[in-house]
Structure 1
């Protein structure tokens, strides 16, 4: 082989491509980068799917969810039951209330704290949502006032509703009679 063949064999021979290997030092191989990106995306999707997959809930989890839903309805229905009991059997109700009168004050404070913490978080969340919706509604008030004023100015009995303002050509055009198809038809029928 000649000198050129040896040079080409040196650069491209032996299963190597010196030009491509040198270029990859400065620029990423697009095909290899795409393969790595595809692998990374596949792994990410597998991880997300594992995190958000519906897990099998046992009987204990379902039972605890049911227990967590009981206090509010139980307290509401219990209070209504006390009103009914007071009307049905006042003596029995008075005896029970006398027993409640013997409960020490620190125990009432503890009960109040428990109920406050239990319902307080929900009350605070709902209160914040209400405040947010109220603020949104109030921020719309100036636009509503402007819209109402604009609509009132469009009424036929509003003063100056047909005023042409400083536009002289509009003022002249408003007094020039135009073709009125309905009036022409009415006149034709009457004649």
Structure 2
């Protein structure tokens, strides 16, 4: 007992050798704990910096103007579509000329319009989905245990191909019986 302590000198010397070995090992392999602490500090500093941007709300005329513009596309699309129906009833010939004119719009421009509208509404919907509070679902009640024969019969009712190849492959049948349990 205590042979290593007597060989190396004392417990203090053993501790010093252990710390030296740890320091040498950290030269070749970084300390994971210190790396996680440094990453956490960098993350908190970045959050603090980004949070400082929103400390003082901007209620200038330009911000109010842009917020108003951001609210216009949906009503314009909705009321514009209804206006097209009204225009078709009031002036069918003018409406027809305009619709024929749309045939001359090149296809890449239609794709661009679809991308803009799709990304606008898609990003808006994604934002609302991300901000929706998540409801936790109640755990499902366990299903009552069924006998292997009953579950096999139920599987055969739902899988007609299974009935057709019954007995064709004994190993497959054994696997299916084991899987049904």
Report the TM-score range of the alignment, normalised by the length of the smaller protein.
0.3 to 0.5
> Which has the greater radius of gyration?
1
TM-score (norm 1): 0.40
